Amino acid sequence: MYAIRRTATQRLSALTHSSHFLSTQSRFTTQRSRLASTLAILEQREGGLNSASLGAVTAGAKLGGSIHGFIAGKNVKPIAEEASKVSGLEKIITVENEAYDRGLAENWAPLLVENIKKGGYTHVIVGHSAFGKNLLPRVAALLDVQQISDVMSIEGEDTFVRPIYAGNAILTVQSTDPIKLLTVRQTSFPPAEIADGSATIEEGTDPSAPQPTQWVSENLTKSDRPELATAGKVVSGGRGLKSKEEFDRLMPPLADALGAAIGAMRRCRQWTGKNVAPQLYLCAGISGAIQHLAGMKDSKVIACINKDGDAPIFGVADVGLVGDLFEVVPELTEKLKA
C-alpha cells in the first residue's frame, strides 16, 4: 500500500519549476541506502536492446544500493553482453526462452515474480511503456503490493512523485510495501550510458509456468519518420487546425521538411497521449492546455505558432510566432525545404 503525503495542483508555472514538488531532506541513512537493491527490467526486441528502457537504470541510481538488470527472450546472450557495459549495473540476469521474446505480460509476470523473490529485491523498475504498463500490474497482483505508475521523480527509497488527473496535479506518495514496483516516465529519467560498465552475467530462474498466451502475428504501419516517443524533433498540431483534413494537409509536409515525428492533441486526432522530450518541439494551433504541457514540458526547445498572443503556450515557449497557422505553416515549410 502507499499513503498520500501531499497533493498540489500544478498550474503553468509549476510545470517548469521543480520547487513545487515536495522539498525534503534525506530520510534515509547511508546504512539503509546500502540495503536497497533494484531490479531494472530491460526491454529487447528482435535481437536489440531498447535503449529507452535504460532509464530504469538511471532511476535505480537515485535509490542507492545495487542495481541488477533483467533480460528475457530468445538469443539474449548478445543483448546481455551489450547491457553489461551499462554504467551503474552490477549484474545482468538472463532467462533464455522464446516464450518471453515478445514481451507478453501474461507469460512474463510469473517469471518476474520468481526472480524478484529469489533476488530479494526491494525495488523493481520498468519504463512507463506499453510493455511496462501491461506487465507490472500483474506482478503487483501476484506479490500483493501496490504498483506506483508514471514516476517523475524519486525523493527517497519509499517516496515518489507522479502525476494524477491527466497531469493536472502532481502527487507525492510514500509506499510502505516491502517491494516497491515502479513504472518510470522515460522523459524524466534519461537512458543510462552504455560505456565502461563491467556487470557480470548470471542465469536467472525460469519457473516454466503454463503459457496462457501465444503470439500470433502483428501488422505494423511502417514510416520513414522517427518514432514519436524517442524522436529528436517533434511537430505537433492542435484544435486550431480545425479538421483532420487540414492537419493532414499542413503538418506532414512540415514534419518531412524538418525530419521530425508527428504528434497531436488528443482532441485533434484522438492521440494516445505520449510524453515526449525532443531537442525541438514545434507546435501549431495548440493553446497550451495543462494536460498538453505536462506531456511536452521536458523538450529542450519549444517553438509555437498561434494566432492568439495571450495563449498559455507562449508562457512556456522558447520561440513564439503570433500569426495565422494556415498562412505561416506553408510558408515555413517552403523555407525549410529551400
CB atoms within 10 A of CB 46: 8
44: three-class secondary structure by DSSP: strand
- Separation between Cα atoms, residue 284 and residue 326, nearest integer Å: 10
Of the candidates 36, 200, 202, 185, the residue with the CA atom closest to the CA atom of residue 122: 36
Distance CA 147, CA 2 (A): 9
How many other β-carbons are positioned within 10 Å of the β-carbon of residue 203? Answer: 10
* Positions at the binding site: 239, 270-272, 285-292, 306
For residue 210 the three cell numbers come to: 503454463
How far is the C-alpha of 128 from the C-alpha of 118, rounded, in Å?
Answer: 24
Q: Closest Cα to residue 50, out of 61, 41, 42, 62?
A: 42
Q: Would you give the end-to-end CA distance of the chain in angstroms?
A: 58
| Backbone angle region of 301, left / alpha / beta, with phi > 0 → left and psi within -120 to 50 → alpha | beta
Binding residues for FAD: 239, 270-272, 285-292, 306
Distance between CA 194 and CA 320 in Å, rounded? 37
Which residue's C-alpha cell is 493532414?
A: 248
